[in-house]
Structure 1
Amino acid sequence: MSKQERATRTRNALILSAAQLFERSGYTQASLDEISSGARVSRGALHFHFENKAALADAVEQAAAHTLRTTAHTPPPDPTSAVQALMDLSHRMVHLLHHDIVVRAGFRLNCDTGPRTPLDLRQEWHTCVHQLTTRAADEHALAPGISPDSLAATIVATTTGLEVLSRANRSWLSPSSLTSFWQLLL
C-alpha cells in the first residue's frame, strides 16, 4: 500500500471515528484522544491530518454534504414525476440518516454549539427539495394554493425533524414514519 493510500485510509478512519463520537456525544464532549483511539491511530497521526477538533468536525460535515449532494443529484433510473421524485428523495434522505453515521453526525454538528462553518446542511437539503417542488409546480402537480416554497419548507421541516427526534429514538427514521407523512400530505 502506498503512503498516499495509507494517508487516505487514516484520514477516512479519523472522520468515521469522529462522526461516531460526535453523533453519540456531541461536539463539545468529544475528545481528540477518543477520536484517535477509535480510529486506532496516534494523536500525531490525527494532528498530521487535522489541525484541531474544529477542522475534524468540518471534515465530517463536508463528507456528509458530499453524500447528501450525491444522493440528491443522482437521477432516478426511470423518468418520474416531480412528486414521485420528492417522495423517493425524502426516503433516500431518511435512509441515509438512519444508516450513515457520517451524515447523521454532520447534521448533528450543524445544530451543535461548536464552531460554525459556512456549510449549512439543512439549507443544502432545502435547496434540493425546492428544486423538485418547483418542478412539481411547473408540472401543475401541486394543489391550488400550495406554493413550491411552502411545500419545500414542510418537507424539510419534517425530514429534519425526524432526524432530531431520532437522536433519542432511531425508530423515527423508519420508512413508515415518512410514508405516513406522505399519506397525510397527499
Structure 2
Amino acid sequence: MVKQERAVRTRKALLTAAADGFSRAGYGPASLLDISRNAGVTSGALHFHFPTKAALASAVMTAAARRLHEMVERCEMRMRSGGALQLLVDVGHELALAMREDTVLRAGFDLDGDPGCPKGVGGVRHLLWGWISATLEKADKAGELRQGVPVDQVARAVFASTVGFQMLGRQDPTWVSRRMQTRFWSLVLPQIAAGRRGLSAAGS
C-alpha cells in the first residue's frame, strides 16, 4: 500500500512538473531531465511511469481533458437557472479562472496548439469545441437563441475567442480575468439570446 501511494505521488508530481515545463518552454524544448528534477524524482522514475516524452504529454493531455469535463459538471450542478446558454457563460468564466490557476489544464491547451507535439496526443481543444457546439445546439432547440442565429458561426466565434483569451493570457493575465469574460459575454449575449431574462454575463 505504501509503495502504491508513493507511486501515485510520484506520478502526480511528474504530471505537474511536465505541465509546467510544456506550458513554459513548449513540447520540443522541454527537457525530461528538468521535468524529473522539478518533480523531485530520478530520471529512472520518470521513465518507469512514462517511457517517452510523447507518453508524458499524452498523460498531461488526458488529465487536462478530465479537468475540463469535471469543470463542466461542477457548473451544471451549481447552476440554478438559465439553461444551456447560461451554462455556456458560466463555463467560460470558470475556464478563464482555471487557465490562470491550473497548470495542467493550461498545459493541455498549450500542447494541443503546439506544432511540435506528436499527432494523436492532442484533444482538449477538440473536446471544448465539441462541447460548445453541442451546448449551443441545445440552446437553439430550447428556444434560447434568437430566430435565425447561425449556430455554427456562433460556436466558432465563442471557441476562437476562448482559445484566443487563453493564448493572450499567457503574457497578460487580464485576458483571462472575470472582468474580460463579463465584457465579452455582455457583447455577445444581446446578439444571440432570444431573451435576457435570467441570463447573466457575469455568470450565475
TM bucket (normalised to shorter chain) is over 0.9
Q: 1:38 Cα deviation (Å)?
A: 0.3
- The aligned counterpart of 1:155 is 158
- The aligned counterpart of 2:135 is 132
CA shift in 2, pair 1:118/1:47, >3 Å: closer
Q: Within 2, Cα distance between the matches of 1:166 and 1:131?
A: 26
Contact 1:64-1:106 within 8 A present in 2 as well: yes
- The aligned counterpart of 1:168 is 171
Q: 1:131 Cα deviation (Å)?
A: 2.0
What is the CA deviation profile of residues 70-103 of structure 1, one whole-angstrom value per residue up to 9, with x for unaligned ones? 1123423324322111111111111221210101
Q: Within 2, Cα distance between the matches of 1:55 and 1:180?
A: 39
What is the CA deviation profile of residues 134-176 of structure 1, one whole-angstrom value per residue up to 9, with x for unaligned ones? 1111121212221322222111111111011112222211111
- The aligned counterpart of 1:108 is 110
Q: 1:118 Cα deviation (Å)?
A: 5.2
CA shift in 2, pair 1:111/1:119, >3 Å: closer
Q: Within 2, Cα distance between the matches of 1:13 and 1:51?
A: 16
Q: Within 2, Cα distance between the matches of 1:96 and 1:73?
A: 14
Amino acid at match of 2:26: G
SS in 1 for 2:144: coil
Gaps of 5+ in 2: 190-204
SS in 1 for 2:77: coil
Contact 1:19-1:60 within 8 A present in 2 as well: yes
Amino acid at match of 1:159: T
Q: Within 2, Cα distance between the matches of 1:105 and 1:119?
A: 11
Contact 1:95-1:175 within 8 A present in 2 as well: yes
- The aligned counterpart of 1:177 is 180
- The aligned counterpart of 1:24 is 24
SS in 2 for 1:73: helix
- Trace 1:1-186 onto structure 2 (pairs within 5 A): 2-74=2-74, 75-77=76-78, 78-112=80-114, 113-117=116-120, 119-186=122-189
TM-score calculated relative to the size of structure 2: 0.86
SS in 2 for 1:84: helix
Amino acid at match of 2:14: L
Q: Within 2, Cα distance between the matches of 1:39 and 1:133?
A: 40
Contact 1:137-1:147 within 8 A present in 2 as well: no
SS in 2 for 1:108: helix
TM-score calculated relative to the size of structure 1: 0.94
Contact 2:140-2:151 within 8 A present in 1 as well: yes
Superposed CA RMSD: 1.4
Q: 1:63 Cα deviation (Å)?
A: 0.5
CA shift in 2, pair 1:118/1:41, >3 Å: closer
Q: Within 2, Cα distance between the matches of 1:164 and 1:12?
A: 25
Q: Within 2, Cα distance between the matches of 1:171 and 1:101?
A: 17
Aligned length: 186
